[in-house]
Amino acid sequence: MKKILILAFVIVCGVMSFQGNILQKFSGKGIINLELANKDTGTEIISLWSDTLYGDQTLLNLAQKNTHLDFLFILVYVLLIMTLSNAQMQREKTNCLNELLRFNLFLAFLIGSLDVIENVRLLHSFHHPGNLAEFWRTDFIAWPKFLIVGWIILVYLFSVIKGCFNK
């Protein structure tokens, strides 16, 4: 199961990175810029994307596709975090780290939920390009999500590295 999730993670990450690089290259702004933007900046980014052509579509269409693909990415990374944390929890002898790895299971669900809410808010804003009144900010969701992801990675890596030294 781990190998399948890792493969799916790499593939979806690759496709989303490719799309994100196109947004960045042609507009100077990527999805993360939008996720962390205030109302004025976010509206400007969406307006820019809706006015910039990429092939037979706009960058806004590409951003929408990227956000739809992010729903699959959420499922994959939440399952991957849960699987890796659970596997490491089985090997971890220290009670405190074991509990932190167990807490990662809940945190994975939490960041997945935050990411779904963020995507819904982004998709709403995509349907109202240039309309400041209809732009739904996501920065207050994205910052905690990124901090929690950082925490999860730190706990997992600390446990893995500690396990390597204790062999």
Q: What's at 13, amino acid-wise?
A: C
| CA proximity to 139, closest of 42, 64, 62 | 42
| Tokens at 128, concatenated | 């109202």
Evaluate whether 59 touches 29 at the Cβ level (below 8 Å).
no
CA 83 to chain centre: 18
What are the tens digits of pLDDT across the range 40-77? 999 999 999 999 999 999 999 999 999 999 999 999 99
pLDDT tens figures, 98-147: 999 999 999 999 999 999 999 999 999 999 998 889 999 999 999 999 99
Residue 161 pLDDT class (50, 70, 90 cuts): very high
Please choose, from the candidates 70, 64, 159, the residue with its C-alpha nearest in 3D space to the C-alpha of residue 111: 70
CA dihedral 108, 68, 140, 130 (to 10 degrees): 180
**Beta strands 53-54 and 57-58, pairing class:** antiparallel
